[in-house]
Amino acid sequence: MARTGKSPPLSVVILAAGQGKRMKSALPKVLQPLAGHPLLAHVLDAATALEPALIHVVYGHGGEQVRMAVRAPNLRWVHQADQLGTGHAVQQAAPGIPDDHVVLVLYGDVPLIRTATLRELLECAGPRSMGLLTVTLADPTGYGRVVRNARGDVLRVVEQKDAKARELRIREGNAGVIAVRAPLLKRWLAQLRNRNAQREYYLTDIVALAVKDRVKVKPLLAPTVAEVMGVNDKLQLAELETEYRRLRARELMREGVTIIDPARVDIRGAVSCGRDVVLDVNVVLDGPVQLGDGVRVGANCVLSQVRIGARTQIKPNCVIERAELGTACEIGPFSRIRPETTLHDGVHVGNFVEIKKSDIGAGSKANHLSYIGDASVGAGVNVGAGTITCNYDGANKWRTHIGDQAFIGSGTMLVAPVKIGAGATIGAGSTITRDAPEGVLTLERSAQHTVEHWQRPAKQK
């Protein structure tokens, strides 16, 4: 659901300036990969779904590396030269936020936040109220504590290092995500001080300032802990990877997909499936991926940016990337379909066959140990075992054209550029360097010789 015309315009501020020392990596923390995409990209996806007028990304460590790694509409980059706390980070973005906007503050290292939760939080941001996302934790160590009065009203947020013993016993933690009208936020940002254990300007201090100004702080409890979990080291990154995998698998199973072992499937990016799709163990789907009705994907397959027609079977250990497959195809085992390849209906591609940048007509077969690259193959063609399209001369790529119903014998070299006519037969073991006419047999073979009295070399004893 998009924001309605009656709602104030939305500015999203994403804090992404941290170095992430505990990652022990040259890659900035917000660019660490989760399900094959940077942490920051996941947050941007959730924010973009809200249709904000502006997204302000506050960056610091990583500089241009961060800016070049992600893209989103209506994106404004804000540099935080010195990392002096979350409040200081938002202060850098504040001058670019119009006063008639609602501001939503997110974090570049909290990747599983859901758009639905953010929409609910935005409803808490009124002329005299602000929304605060909180979470109940069995062990809240490291989180700021949400302090309430006897009536349950939120009074303030106390950071871990500044908390007293009784406050450390509070299990409700601050998730850090807030929604507030821009004029209120700007007023409180101007009042922040760094009189605390870390000598930083805490964004969380605006909660106490809101209470002081009699602005209602409306807490929203996060539906799950995973949704607000941040990433500080590779262990936490792996934990979120597991959670992300679990969530995506559950989504697909609710849509009717059969997943043999949900713990051993990776769903990355947009994936859509028809009815009666089956995914075996260790399948990786790197979206966008579209699987038609009745598609079966065998164990250990990797499908990246593909569209696969109904009733196609992908047997184990296949890699298919940036390709389109028609209906009722049979692929594998151990096949590789490379980018810019189209397989039409009923194509069979067998074990240890590689196809690249080619168009394969309906009902054609390449069942064993062949390479087809930069080729146009007609319908009903049989490509024998060990056939190679020799498409590269060391400097340029050339195309091979094979007409409908042609039969290519085993062990054939087709030296491009070359055309094989419709209905032609190419004798096994041939090296074809000139066009082969339609409907006849073409073959090329050197004379066979037997050398009498020849002896095989033997190793010296």
373 in Cβ contact with 358 (< 8 Å): yes
50 in Cβ contact with 115 (< 8 Å): yes
Look up 368 and say whether it is catalytic: yes
Q: Strand pairing of 102-107 and 172-181?
A: antiparallel
State the CB neighbour count (10 A cutoff) for residue 268.
Answer: 19
Q: Please tell me the distance from the alpha carbon of residue 272 to that of residue 203, in angstroms, as a whole number.
A: 39
Query: Which amino acid type is present at position 426?
Result: I
Q: Strand pairing of 129-136 and 172-181?
A: antiparallel
Q: Please tell me the distance from the alpha carbon of residue 311 to that of residue 119, in angstroms, as a whole number.
A: 39
Q: Please tell me the distance from the alpha carbon of residue 121 to that of residue 283, in angstroms, as a whole number.
A: 36
Question: 3-class secondary structure for 132-183?
Answer: EEEEECCCCCCCCEEEECCCCCEEEEECHHHCCHHHHCCCEEEEEEEEEEHH
Question: For 241, left (φ over 0), alpha (ψ -120 to 50), or beta?
Answer: alpha
Q: How far apart are the first and last CA of the chain?
A: 82
Dihedral sign for Cα atoms in the order 441, 446, 449, 455:
negative
Q: Which of 121, 133, 208 is nearest to 177 (CA)?
A: 133
Query: Which amino acid type is present at position 231?
Result: V
**Would you call 414 helix, strand, or coil by DSSP?**
strand
Q: Which of 261, 249, 330, 344 is nearest to 294 (CA)?
A: 330
429 in Cβ contact with 410 (< 8 Å): yes
* Residue positions counted in the chain: 461
Dihedral (C-alpha) 342, 348, 353, 357: value to the nearest 10 degrees?
A: -10
The single residue of 368, 401, 449, 453 carrying the catalytic annotation is 368
Q: Please tell me the distance from the alpha carbon of residue 223 to that of residue 227, in angstroms, as a whole number.
A: 8
Q: Please tell me the distance from the alpha carbon of residue 99 to that of residue 326, in angstroms, as a whole number.
A: 53
- DSSP notation for 29-65: GGGSEETTEEHHHHHHHHHHTT--SEEEEEEBTBTHH
282 in Cβ contact with 299 (< 8 Å): yes
Residue 452 Cα distances to 205, 445, 448, 457, angstroms: 96, 21, 13, 15
Active-site residues, by number, are 368
